[in-house]
């Protein structure tokens, strides 16, 4: 599961993904601006890995996750999943492609239809995509319930009769029903008690091993991401600031924002607790009106004049480490210009190796 073998297949390739939500104002509802929830991000996810996506509230993590499986119509960019660019598929082609990608939602209460029984919820995707007989479908539902650790006897109960952790298991079973390859986990543990969080994360890990799943794990819980992810992307205001292998990122974050974010993780060992906390000043700018230049320039403790003018591109500065910052120059690699123009030319990680 760890990043061991060198040539791995890319399952998901995201290129220049933009997700803008238009703002209409005035009597004529004229289009006067955009909320740039996700502003030009690119990354790959390799088969069988878990990519963690972290960032503070409102930075666009969930939007990115949802746009990735086309729950929203993308503003621009492409998302290639398993060899097919799903951003441009027609409705019917997309429908046939749906089983490949699934999602586990944040709020297990809101993601289950309160008027459907557990077996109906888990069986819904089967109705849509398979022609199983009633008995076969029930067998499959039981199999899925076993896989996620739910008692078969509960199949005819309604979601409100379950605890948060059990509901999340129902959500996971539904996501697994069509044998997906790629699952977006949108803060699947944020709404759960700490003791249950561990159970659900362990379940996700077991299922990954068993079914060879690939995860995009969106979370603001940095410790949990450290536990489950192979690589981690740090987002700020709709853009990826740093994307590195987990251990490298947690040991030595390169981007000033990643440093500040990771310094905020609570340290359980009091002996080590006296570390320097980087406390950022000010608030996150509005995504409807991001600053010129680097999105982080308004709060960056190390800001230099060029940051306010030119937007840094996400560049590979060391093997497997991508950073979008003028201060972090490529070391080991002879990569392209770090800043340069405002061209949105992002190097693709993995392309050079």
* Contact between 139 and another protein per CB under 8 A: no
- Please state the closest distance from residue 283 (CB atom) to another protein, in A: 26
Based on the shown chain and the rule CB under 8 A, indicate whether residue 102 belongs to the binding site for another protein: yes
- Interface with another protein by CB under 8 A: which range of 152-160, 215-223, 258-266, 293-301? 152-160
Cβ contact 204:287 at 8 Å:
no
Give the shortest CB-185-to-another protein separation in angstroms: 13
Under 8 Å between Cβ of 190 and 221:
yes
Instruction: Supply the minimum distance, in Å, between the C-beta of residue 126 and another protein.
Output: 9
Site for another protein in 156-195 (CB under 8 A): 156-158, 161, 171, 174, 178
Per rule CB under 8 A, is residue 333 in the interface with another protein? no
Q: What whole-number distance in Å separates Cα of residue 258 and Cα of residue 265? A: 11
Q: Give the C-alpha separation, 243 to 234, whole Å.
A: 6
When the beta carbons of 141 and 307 are compared against another protein, the nearer one is 141
Nearest of 180, 185, 229, 218 to residue 50 by alpha carbon: 229
- CB contact at 8 A, 104 and 41: no
According to CB under 8 A, which one of 3, 56, 124, 205 is a site residue for another protein?
Answer: 124
Q: Minimum distance from CB of 331 to another protein (Å)? A: 42
CB 347 within 8 A of CB 335: yes
- Tokens representing 279 are 């406390």
For position 105 contacting another protein by CB under 8 A, the verdict is: yes
How far, CA to CA in Å, does 297 sit from each of 241, 260, 347?
A: 12, 14, 22
Half-sphere exposure of 44 (CA within 13 A, CB side): 18
Q: Considering only 101-109, 138-146, 226-234, 302-310, which stretch makes contact with another protein by CB under 8 A? A: 101-109
Q: What is the largest CA-CA distance in the chain?
A: 68
Residue 142 binds to another protein (criterion: CB under 8 A): no
Tokens coding 197: 């969080």
* Length reported for the chain: 353
Which residue from 78, 80, 117, 130 is in contact with another protein, where contact means CB under 8 A? 117
Given the complex with another protein, which of 191 and 314 has the nearer CB atom? 191
- In whole angstroms, give the CA distance from residue 226 to residue 199: 16
Q: Which is nearer to another protein, 94 or 198 (CB)?
A: 94
Determine if residue 182 is left, alpha or beta; phi over 0 gives left, psi from -120 to 50 gives alpha, anything else beta: beta
Taking CB under 8 A as the criterion, the residue among 58, 99, 320, 350 binding another protein is 99
Provide, rounded to whole angstroms, the least separation between the CB of residue 161 and another protein.
6
* Contacting positions for another protein (CB under 8 A): 66, 69, 71, 94-96, 98-99, 101-103, 105-107, 110-115, 117, 124-125, 128-129, 156-158, 161, 171, 174, 178
């Amino acid at each position: 599961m760890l990043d061991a073998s060198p040539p791995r297949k890319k399952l998901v390739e995201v290129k220049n993904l933009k997700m803008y939500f238009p703002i209409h104002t005035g009597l004529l509802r004229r289009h006067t601006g955009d909320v740039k929830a996700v502003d030009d991000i690119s990354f790959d996810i390799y088969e069988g890995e878990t990519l963690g996506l972290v960032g503070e509230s409102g930075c666009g993590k969930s939007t990115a996750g949802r746009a990735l499986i086309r729950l929203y119509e993308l503003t621009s960019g492409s998302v290639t999943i398993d060899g097919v660019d799903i951003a441009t598929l027609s409705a019917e082609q997309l429908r046939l492609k749906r089983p490949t990608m699934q999602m586990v939602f944040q709020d297990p209460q809101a993601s289950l239809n309160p008027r459907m029984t557990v077996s109906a919820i888990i069986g819904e995707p089967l109705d849509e995509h398979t022609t199983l007989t009633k008995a076969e479908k029930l067998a499959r539902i039981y199999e899925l319930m076993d896989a996620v650790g739910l008692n078969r006897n509960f199949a005819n109960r309604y979601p409100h009769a379950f605890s948060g952790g059990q509901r999340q298991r129902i959500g996971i079973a539904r996501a697994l029903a069509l044998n997906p390859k790629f699952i977006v986990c949108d803060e699947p543990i944020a709404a759960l008690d700490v003791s249950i969080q561990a159970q659900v994360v362990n379940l996700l890990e077991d299922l990954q091993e068993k079914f060879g799943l690939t995860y995009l794990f969106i979370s603001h819980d940095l410790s949990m991401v450290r536990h489950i992810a192979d690589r981690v992307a740090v987002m700020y205001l709709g853009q990826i600031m740093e994307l590195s292998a987990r251990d490298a990122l947690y040991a030595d974050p390169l981007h000033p924002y990643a440093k500040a974010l990771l310094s905020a993780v609570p340290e359980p060992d009091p002996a080590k607790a006296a570390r320097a906390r980087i406390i950022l000043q000010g608030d996150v700018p509005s995504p409807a009106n991001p600053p010129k230049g680097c999105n982080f320039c308004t709060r960056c403790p190390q800001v230099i004049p060029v940051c306010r003018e030119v937007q840094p591109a996400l560049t590979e500065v060391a093997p497997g480490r991508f950073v979008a910052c003028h201060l972090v120059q490529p070391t080991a690699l002879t990569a392209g210009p770090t800043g340069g123009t405002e061209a949105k030319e992002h190097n693709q990680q993995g392309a050079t190796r």
